[in-house]
Amino acid sequence: MSKPEKFAVIATCLLGLAGGFFTINTVRADIASSNPFPYSVETRPNGYLRVYVNPDLRDSSQRESYASAQRMAISNLLADGQTEVVTLQVTFNQPITLEELRDLSNRTGLSSEHVILAARDDKDQLHAIGQRAIPSAIVNTDELNAELNSRGLRLLGVAVIRGRIVASASGLGQLANDPRIHLVDVMPHILAKELAMKQGVSVDKVQVSVPSPYWDLLSNGK
């Protein structure tokens, strides 16, 4: 699995999918930042909104601008004092072990929902392995080991996780200050709430996907 191709939607269009139709709109988000980041919205036939945030993380200045926006958003969430549950994506500076992720989860209350692990093949090419998280062990190690063996890969560790955490000093605050973490991205939470309010739908019907800078950091030697 390679890094997804980045895309931009130029105008509103109507596309067919599985016998139905959904609309895609490109807008710009000025969320917790003076710098706008583009995102596209798909309105599904079932009423769900699928949102793709598309900052150009290949560009170091936009990468830092995006990271700065997330730091500001986290500060605002913590200052708000509502201790709401926040959907987020975490990118590590370097892959961490599953045991380290379990320890981090125990200390901060982080609940992982999806885990992306980094691995290399015998030519030292980088690969990503995505797994749905399980409560008892973070990932199914039997399935993981079987995939590693079948593809001839050497596991590096956990690179990115998607999950939830309470917006408290001991939860989100502690997570954001962990030196092993490059980026705590709360755009899935912020944008879902904003679009749910604008579109008049429940927040659980808004699914926000954000890119991880992990692969761009590697390609730029950082």
CB 162 within 8 A of CB 114: yes
Q: Where are the domains of the chain?
A: 13-219
Q: Would the pTM of this model clear 0.85, i.e. be above it?
A: no
**pLDDT the model gives residue 4:** 37
Give the integer Cα–Cα distance in Å for 94 and 149: 22
Contacts made by residues 41-49, CB under 8 angstroms, sequence distance 24+:
41/195, 44/20, 45/17, 45/20, 45/21, 47/201, 47/205, 48/205, 48/206, 48/207, 49/195, 49/199, 49/201, 49/205, 49/206, 49/207
Q: Is 172 exposed, middle or buried (0-12, 13-18, 19+ CB in 10 A)?
A: buried
pLDDT in tens, 72-90: 999 999 998 888 999 999 9
Give the integer Cα–Cα distance in Å for 121 and 191: 37
Q: Is a pLDDT exceeding 80 seen at residue 101?
A: yes
Q: Is a pLDDT exceeding 90 seen at residue 27?
A: no
Residue 5 sits at φ, ψ, to 5 deg, of -70, 140
Q: Is 193 exposed, middle or buried (0-12, 13-18, 19+ CB in 10 A)?
A: middle
Alpha helix ranges (H) inside 82-210: 98-108, 141-151, 174-176, 187-199
**pLDDT the model gives residue 220:** 56
Mean pLDDT, the chain, as a whole number?
84
Q: Is a pLDDT exceeding 70 seen at residue 93?
A: yes
